[in-house]
Chain A
Amino acid sequence: MTSEHHKENFLTKYIWSTDHKIIGLQYGITALLWLLFGFILMLIMRYQLAYPETPIPIVGALLGEGGLLPPEMYNSLGAMHGTIMIFLGVVPLAFGAFGNYFVPLQIGAIDMAFPKLNAASYWMYFVGSIIMVTGFFVPGGAANSGWTSYPPLSNIATTGQTVWLCGMVFLITSSLLGSINILATVIQLRAEGMSWMRLPIFVWVQFITAFLLLLAFPPLEAASVLQLMDRLAGTSFFMPSGLVVSGVALSNTGGGSPLLWQHLFWFLAHPEVYVLILPAFGIVVEVIANNTRRPIWGYKSIVYAGIFLGFMSFIVWAHHMFITGMGTTMSSFFQTTTMIISIPSVVILTALFMSLWGGSIRYNTPMLFALGFLPMFGIGGLTGLPLGLAAADIYLHDTYYVIGHFHYVVAPGTIFALFAGIYYWFPKMTGKRMNETLGKLHFFFSLIFMNGVFLPMMAQGLAGVSRRLWDGGEMYAHAAGVLYLNEVMSVSAWLLGMTQIFFIVNMIISLLGKKTGEDNPWQATTLDWSATTSPPLGHGNFEVVPTVYRGPYEYSVPGADKDFTPQNEKA
């Protein structure tokens, strides 16, 4: 790609840009907006759960008669909340934004391997996300069969489900293009001296994530095509014979299997959860190494654990299907692999805790979020263990326990890590610093309210309250004792929402603030901080393409004159 210094107008520089940093920002801004939107959907749901069949304030008129939230709409909000948070929010932010922006910088490259493909992947994501949301405007509303879209329900659902499937095809294609780019970039464009074992952990985990997306997403694309055929062409891939809906026998030929969808869906969706957590691990490693002023403990074990985790993630998926009647042989197989896959996570978490030992810890905002991640991910991971064992899972499946488990990992888990990344890399992206006081307020209140929302879910789940219930468990006599927690969780959720105002205000005033003129305010060792063009980084990233002489976390090297030694500093 020749560097033609043709005249760039606003469109080519900021809209159709092929520069990985602009594309990273496009992904980031779009993803943060979708995260906010998906969050608001949940706030509406939580009003219904706290005060059943009471008109929803502010947005009630949009939702139903008299401002009341009808059950089908509640189900739409639930399905779309999950879909939007995962596919429009977290993955585009963790992989599309952070991956695109910082992988080339950290490996010493001037851009991604395929810049035009990069732009294409962003715009496919953008179009796919618009398609997804138009579901709210079609007759019958948005998809309402869960983010998992199980047939036969999803097959007979209203038009919104077809819209969901079309949106997924675009989003999956976007992901595939992005994965190809990250993989080719890391393999081919590492700077001289940047061997595999000198890569920052952030790059390693993005690499593994890209492999997961590349190989796990296509079966879901296949399944989406099959479900579209069922819905539009009258096939019966997922429809068993003899289905009767509302007293009327369906006219399709039958002979299909709802379990086929579940297998193809979870073949993607299980690796998908590792896609959600791996970039978070990477960011936490970067921030902890930087703010303990010592090397990461167990670099190699983290790398090998990550690779092992990647491989194992392909053979555990049916732990989401323990209640489908598989025999003891297959059930034992999946329980075994699921127990084994908890080991690499423990290795990584242990390495992160050990990395704090003997460190000179700086408690700035990114570090607080990274530290908060550790016990929160710990709770998330530990609560997953009973779910991985069939005997306990048969009781806990589809209860609030599951919702509590996965939200702990993703919300005070991944999202905290993503906040850490934003606070940490803001100076590199803008040349300015975010306000520390607002940042700390953002952290402490988020931590408190996250636990206020998700800890009671464990109690409700153990008491047998099912998920996806519009009435929040009111119909169950056995749940009576834990129903009061609905209001507790809802109030925590609304307060959690208000806490994000600290973050939004901080972003705005920081962006409007003065540049600090510092290239490396955190005194970090990785190549992104030694990029020789000042922030915001210019075209080409490096005035002189770096050569790498040392590992990524050489902090407090004995005998060195400063407590950090950049990777491109000669031995």
Chain B
Amino acid sequence: MSEYTTEEIHHHVKTYVMVFVALAALTIVTVAISYLDLGVVPAVILALIVASIKGSLVACYFMHLISEKVTIYWTLLVTLACFLVLMFVPLSTMLAQAKI
């Protein structure tokens, strides 16, 4: 399975280095914003946004997701839907509890 030419690999390597620099920088950003005096909710949202950007970089470039096949995209989409249900629905039942 040699879908990439030598040139493409060299191009990929450049990308890997750039992504590494971005990840390192974003790590510093993550720690830095934790020193800001934000409320819990803004802090959580900001932290998750930064983490998601870092995660997307790892997924898209290190895991080659950006050029992956449709089958993989579908698998991950279904997984994401289930993940979101798992994250938000139990919480919703707790927050919307019956008032006795």
Query: Are A and B associated in one complex?
Result: yes
Chain A residues in contact with chain B, CB under 8 A? 187, 211, 215-216, 219, 257, 259-260, 263-264, 267, 311, 314-315, 318, 321, 324-330
User: A211–B85 Cα gap in the complex (Å)?
Assistant: 16
- Is the CB–CB distance between B71 and A326 below 8 Å? no
User: A329–B99 Cα gap in the complex (Å)?
Assistant: 12
Known: A260-B90, A330-B92. A325 touches B97 (CB 8 A): yes
B67-100 interface with A by 8 A CB criterion: 71, 78-79, 81-82, 85-86, 89-90, 92-94, 96-100
| 18 pairs of residues in contact across A and B, judged by CB atoms under 8 Å | A211-B78, A215-B78, A215-B82, A216-B82, A259-B90, A263-B89, A267-B86, A314-B81, A321-B93, A325-B97, A326-B93, A326-B98, A327-B96, A327-B99, A328-B98, A329-B96, A330-B89, A330-B96
- Is the CB–CB distance between B98 and A327 below 8 Å? yes
- Distance (Å) between the CB of A88 and the closest chain B CB? 26
| Chain B residues in 8 Å Cβ range of A263 | 89-90, 93
User: A327–B92 Cα gap in the complex (Å)?
Assistant: 10
- Is the CB–CB distance between A219 and B86 below 8 Å? yes
- Distance (Å) between the CB of A172 and the closest chain B CB? 16
> How many A-B contacts at CB < 8 Å in the complex?
46
- Is the CB–CB distance between B98 and A215 below 8 Å? no
User: A540–B79 Cα gap in the complex (Å)?
Assistant: 34
- Interface residue count on the B side (C-beta < 8 Å): 17
User: A211–B78 Cα gap in the complex (Å)?
Assistant: 9
- Is the CB–CB distance between A314 and B71 below 8 Å? no
Chain B residues in contact with chain A, CB under 8 A? 71, 78-79, 81-82, 85-86, 89-90, 92-94, 96-100
- Is the CB–CB distance between B85 and A315 below 8 Å? yes
| Chain A residues in 8 Å Cβ range of B100 | 325
- Is the CB–CB distance between A325 and B98 below 8 Å? yes
Known A259-B90, A259-B94, A326-B97; further 4 A-B contacts with Cβ < 8 A: A215-B79, A314-B81, A327-B98, A330-B93
Determine the residue in chain B with the shortest Cβ distance to A310.
B78
| Chain A residues in 8 Å Cβ range of B89 | 263, 315, 318, 330
Known: A325-B97, A327-B98. A314 touches B79 (CB 8 A): no
| Chain A residues in 8 Å Cβ range of B96 | 326-327, 329-330
| Chain B residues in 8 Å Cβ range of A257 | 94
* Cross-interface CB contact of A314 among B82, B92, B93, cutoff 8 Å: B82
User: A327–B95 Cα gap in the complex (Å)?
Assistant: 9
Known: A215-B82, A325-B100, A327-B99. A187 touches B94 (CB 8 A): no
Question: 5 closest pairs, A vs B, by CB?
Answer: A263-B90, A327-B96, A326-B93, A330-B93, A215-B82
| Chain A residues in 8 Å Cβ range of B82 | 215-216, 314
| Chain B residues in 8 Å Cβ range of A321 | 93
| Chain A residues in 8 Å Cβ range of B92 | 329-330
User: A327–B100 Cα gap in the complex (Å)?
Assistant: 10
